[in-house]
């Protein structure tokens, strides 16, 4: 990226990115965090992404356990085990390697209060986003609205931040009031979904811009370069149906089988199986290890077709120009899919796995889709350049 238009005195200024953390457990979350860091670094700034361990109160831990039990009863499926720190590190060995080797991070909340204040005093801007940073239950909303930076003279902004739904999820009246006060202190707010613009106006009384996910700010060549420079072996495939479905169900499996028959292709996936017991995990820990991020990207690059219920699975199908169907995942939020697909004119590719008609939509007009992606990329880059080039904090 050409940064020649930036004044020399802006190069090296420290920018922090605040997304969902800790990093490592989700391919899409890693991809968007990497992309935003790469873009801001390309604009000439020194940039680090906050990567602190999640800290939950006993009440929140209990609430998570209750929600887990309810979900198991509703779906009638045993959910994967919640692993301890050591076993989680084993599962995320390759994805955490990606964080260490491909990104610059800071454990901001592992610092003492005094050291954190010194870091914030030296910070030019904090960019919140992307991902579902303003979805209650997924993140500490107040923290993702920079309550810890009150009193510091720095640029507060978001980029493609997401509420994860078309309504406020798990916001109490008190949290709505607190979050509105914090949001009004931002210099600029950018959201990922068109519904987020309305939520910001209605509940926070602030104007928000609508921008594409950070992964779309990079080009397909950038991701191919990651695959080609992977420090770990990456299995390449000669086509097939890439199944990237986070919530496998009988109906989702039926859709995959229908596609195999109609397309005459075999399906493959790369997600490790869920661990059902600690005994089985400890007997074969490598079986449950996530593949490298580069292998995940290669699966999109090599596939003939993609089936996914993941937002970022849909994004990377678009980036690699692969025909796909997106299975609506109501529990994870449909607003994200609808907004993304509408922005590139591919609304007809969103289906409910419970009522999949079996008839595939025609392949996309990729030249038209790519034009829309390029236009969104330009708007996003212009927004970041304009805000980060603010000299207030010089």
Q: Give pLDDT tens digits for 21-54.
A: 999 999 999 999 999 999 999 999 999 999 998 6
Closest to 27 in 3D by CA, of 322, 207, 203, 291: 291
User: How high is the pLDDT of residue 69?
Assistant: 62
Q: Is the pLDDT of residue 5 over 60?
A: no
Q: Which pair of tokens denotes residue 104?
A: 């610059």
What is the end-to-end Cα distance of the chain in Å, rounded?
23
3-state secondary structure of 367: helix
Mean pLDDT throughout 110-139? Answer: 96
252 torsion bin: left (phi>0), alpha (psi -120 to 50), beta (else):
alpha
* Helix (H), strand (E) at residue 381: helix 366-388
Rounded alpha-carbon distances, angstroms, from residue 260 to 253, 292, 297, 322, 377? 11, 26, 22, 16, 34
Beta-bridge partners for 210: 191
**What are the percentages of helix, strand and coil residues in the chain, rounded to 5?**
50, 10, 40
Give pTM, 2 decimals: 0.92
Superfamily of segment(s) 235-365:
Glycogen Phosphorylase B; (3.40.50.2000)
Going by C-beta distance under 8 Å and a sequence separation of 6 or more, which residues neighbour residue 303? 237, 239, 240, 241, 242, 320, 322
Q: What's the confidence (pLDDT) of residue 6?
A: 45
Strand pairing category for 324-327 and 305-308: parallel
pLDDT bucket at 287, cuts 50 / 70 / 90: very high
Query: Are the folds of 11-217+375-388 and 235-365 the same?
Result: yes
**Among candidate residues 380, 333, 372, the one with its CA nearest the CA of residue 209:** 380
Report whether pLDDT(348) > 90. Answer: yes
The tokens for 27 are 């391919």
The model's pLDDT over 192-233, given as tens digits with 9 standing for 90+, comes to 999 999 999 999 999 999 999 999 999 999 999 999 999 999
Of 16, 211, 214, the closest CA to residue 128 belongs to: 16
Q: Residue 255 region, left (φ>0) first, then alpha (ψ -120 to 50), else beta?
A: alpha
- Proportion of the chain above pLDDT 90, given as a percent: 82
Residues 6+ apart with CB under 8 A from 243: 256, 267, 268, 269, 306, 307, 308
Give residue 55's Cα distance to chain centre.
20
Radius of gyration of the chain (CA): 21
For 13, 167, 202, 214, 220, the CA distances from 198, given in Å and listed in that order, are 33, 9, 6, 21, 31
The class level of CATH for 11-217+375-388 reads alpha beta
State the pLDDT at residue 56.
45
pLDDT at 12 over 90: no
Rounded to an integer, what distance in angstroms lies between the CA atom of residue 62 and that of residue 165? 24
Q: How far apart are CA 178 and CA 147, in angstroms?
A: 9
Six token digits for residue 325: 């169907």
Residue with tokens 């979904």: 193
Residue 4 is predicted with a pLDDT of: 42
Domain ranges for the chain, please list them.
Answer: 11-217+375-388, 235-365
Take residue 115 and report the two structure tokens written for it: 């050291």
Q: Across the chain, what does the average pLDDT equal? A: 91
Cα angle at 349 between 26 and 355, to 5 degrees?
95
Asked if the model's pLDDT at residue 61 lies above 70, the reply is: no
């Amino acid at each position: 990226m050409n940064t020649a238009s930036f004044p020399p005195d802006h190069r090296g200024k420290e920018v922090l990115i605040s997304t969902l953390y800790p990093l490592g457990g989700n391919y899409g979350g890693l991809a968007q965090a990497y992309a935003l860091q790469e873009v801001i670094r390309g604009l000439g700034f020194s940039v680090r992404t906050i990567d602190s361990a999640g800290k939950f109160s006993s009440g929140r831990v209990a609430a998570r356990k209750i929600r887990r039990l309810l979900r198991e009863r509703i779906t009638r499926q045993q959910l994967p085990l919640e692993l301890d720190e050591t076993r989680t590190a084993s599962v995320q060995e390759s994805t955490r390697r990606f964080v260490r080797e491909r990104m610059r991070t800071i454990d901001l909340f592992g610092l003492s209060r005094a050291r954190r204040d010194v870091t914030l005093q030296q910070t030019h801007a904090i960019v919140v986003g992307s991902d579902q940073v303003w979805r209650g239950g997924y993140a500490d909303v107040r923290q993702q609205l920079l309550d810890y930076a009150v009193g510091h003279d720095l640029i507060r902004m978001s980029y493609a931040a997401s509420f994860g739904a078309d309504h406020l999820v798990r916001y109490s009246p008190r949290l709505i009031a607190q979050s509105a006060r914090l949001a009004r202190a931002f210099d600029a707010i950018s959201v990922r979904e068109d519904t987020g613009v309305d939520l910001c106006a209605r509940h926070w009384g602030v104007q928000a811009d609508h921008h594409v996910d950070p992964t779309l700010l990079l080009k397909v060549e950038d991701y191919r370069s990651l695959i080609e420079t992977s420090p770990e072996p990456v299995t390449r495939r000669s086509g097939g149906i890439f199944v990237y479905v986070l919530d496998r169900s009988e109906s989702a499996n039926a859709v995959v089988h229908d596609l195999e028959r109609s397309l005459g292709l075999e399906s493959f996936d790369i997600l490790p199986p869920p661990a059902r017991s600690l005994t089985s995990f400890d007997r074969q820990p490598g079986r449950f290890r996530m593949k490298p991020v580069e292998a995940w990207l290669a699966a999109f690059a090599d596939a003939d077709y993609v089936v996914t219920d993941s937002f970022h699975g849909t994004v990377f199908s678009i980036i690699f120009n692969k025909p796909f169907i997106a299975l609506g995942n109501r529990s994870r939020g449909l607003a994200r899919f609808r907004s993304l697909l509408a922005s590139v004119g591919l609304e007809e590719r969103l289906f409910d796995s419970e009522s999949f008609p079996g008839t595939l939509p025609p392949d996309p007009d990729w030249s038209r889709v790519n034009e829309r992606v390029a236009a969104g990329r330009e708007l996003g880059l212009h927004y970041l350049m304009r805000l980060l080039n603010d000299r207030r904090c010089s």
